[in-house]
Structure 1
């Protein structure tokens, strides 16, 4: 069973998410939280694998809570819940290591698929949403293009190809087909690239590639 914590200040949203997830059969909602501080406390108590975290909550917001959770040994994977057009904190959450983003009106099957994907170690849950978020918020932050390119230069040619594909939102299976290699090899390249670049997940790879353009 995949252990999930839901953090959102709206009780109706939490109830709806709980109903969807528990109907999946392989997901257990172990706790709920209405604030970022509660999310951190409940995560300490129940040790969920995945947290669905609202970006905006009273008191400690979702981004601050994410930063706190990243101090955990083996921290949970955090999927940020957003309305996209109103959230000013999204880019900061990506930088802080969010596993991905879901719009609050995401279809139930896509929500369940996202939770399963994150629990299995993936990070870019919805390529369309993630790319829109990156494109919208990257322009707000000054970046050193040369520094980003220098970081990517440590990769081998094949690792570089895989990283570019990851940044386009492709899954391991899609990358394997495009580059004519096995999924196991793709996973190995991704793992080595993350280690060399000092990054936490595939979303941060996408951000670095975006900064290097």
Structure 2
């Protein structure tokens, strides 16, 4: 077993390696426009968020659950009188969301290329299996990872399991991501380093306070700062 303090690095995918939330927000704007005759946009968005919260335990994270939540919201907003044409358009914008192009974030390729081989790299993402596999394939990043884990949720148990299976355990691992709730706080709870890379757009359900007092918490502005941070550990 390596005596290095860090041997394994986990990376979140959506809004860490490639853009994601911006496409959801554009879809939501389209959705609120479809229901403009029935309610104001802000009200529609509020009801949609409530539906998403309710449905997470049923559908999990991802575009399919989001689409079902839009349909549910449309039925509620219209008190069951939503036109079939609107339902069809909701399905269309859901399918469009499943086919949006992959736009990698700045510094992703050079950072991963510099770290691969020196560390075990594992992609840890949650959401729809087919969609995440599609985005990974289109990103061209797949060959840079030693392992890929698509999970239903991210908890301390999740990180302990993955970092023990892929690497030398959570104590010698680091998780890098844009979500404090999913990527950073549970990874630190598992015993790993948590490196927060803020994104301008983050889903409201992923917001929690920064664990600034945690010894293994780090924050960088972009992935180009990751290598110097690692070298300074």
* Alignment TM-score, normalising by the size of structure 2: 0.35
* Alignment TM-score, normalising by the size of structure 1: 0.38
**Structure having the higher Rg:** 2
